[in-house]
Structure formats: structure tokens, C-alpha cells
Structure 1
């Protein structure tokens, strides 16, 4: 269904995904705040999984809080990219290079 929607209106789909990413940023912010308040005891002293350390290039001693910060930053970037693409006309050039 999303492919069909994207075929009909890429701008709408990018805006829609941008709003989903905004909600993800809010969710990760809430998780970080809860962790900082001591409400997520299990994660307070949990080391970051190795896959997260490698993917986000975190320090070897990274903790779950570092993973949450990295994910939130990633989601925030996706939000900006999708809102930018959703605001562009079809004739405009994509301002993002490969891997941005």
C-alpha cells in the first residue's frame, strides 16, 4: 500500500514518515528522561550491545543511554530528511548526497 501511495504522492509519503520520525524522537526522549530519573533500573548499568557499538560507532564502553542517544539522533536526522524531501517540488534536486 505504501508503494502505491508513494507512486501517487511522494511528497505526502515523505511528510507522513517525517511525522512518524518526530514521534520516534519524542519516544526516545521520554526513554532517556525515564532512564535518567531511575525509572528504567534494568538499563541503568547495561552495556550497549556490540551490534549497536559497531553500527553507531560508539565507544567500546558505551551504555544503553548512549544507544538511546544515538538512535534519537538518527531518528531526528531521518525526520529532517523526510520533511525536506516532502517540501520539495519534483523538479528540485535532492540536496542530500549518498549516505547522508
Structure 2
């Protein structure tokens, strides 16, 4: 159940980041240069912007969503994660 709830929380995060991107695209939020810590952590180009950071963070949240829903599905089926790796290309 914890994996399913976490998957839904990640879905809400994706929605929030999508709304943030819309505000950036409308010009309501300034698309400033990405902070150095984000450039380093996400291995972004030196000229990355806030929009670039939000894009990679949103993609990461989508990955977390998928992994948690996958884990919940496996547990629901009465199987163990260690015995059921995600398919190639899944993550």
C-alpha cells in the first residue's frame, strides 16, 4: 500500500511541475539561469535554465511514480520485487 500511495504522491508532483512549466512558458515566472548545484547534480549543460531543471526533476518524479506503481503491482500479485525485476527499458 505504501508503494501505491507514494506512486500517487509522485503523480501529484508531476502535475505541480507541469503547472510550473506552464507559468514559466507564459512568462509569469522568470526563466533564470539554473543554479550551479542543479547543473552539477543533474549533469546539465553550463547554460541550463530553470526550465531545464524543472524538466529533469519532473522526469525523475515520473520515474519514481512508475517504480512505485510497479512495486505495488508486484506485491499485490503476491510476488517479491527481488524476484521480479522491471522489464528492460522500464526505467
Is the pair's TM-score, using the shorter chain for normalization, greater than 0.5? yes
Distance in 2, Cα, partners of 1:26 & 1:68 = 12
Q: 1:22 aligns with which of 1, 6, 11?
A: 11
Residue number in structure 2 paired with 1:6: none
**In the alignment, structure 1 residue 75 sits paired with structure 2 residue 55:** no
Structure 1: stretches of 5+ with no match in the other structure: 1-11
Q: CA deviation at 1:91?
A: 3.3
Pairwise CA RMSD of aligned residues? 1.4
Q: 1:34 aligns with which of 23, 27, 35?
A: 23
TM-score by length of 2: 0.84
**In the alignment, structure 1 residue 95 sits paired with structure 2 residue 81:** no
Q: 2:42 aligns with which of 56, 71, 74?
A: 56
Distance in 2, Cα, partners of 1:91 & 1:68 = 34
- After superposing on structure 2, the runs of 4+ consecutive aligned residues of structure 1 that deviate more than 4 Å are none
TM-score by length of 1: 0.77
Structure 2: stretches of 5+ with no match in the other structure: none
Distance in 2, Cα, partners of 1:14 & 1:30 = 25
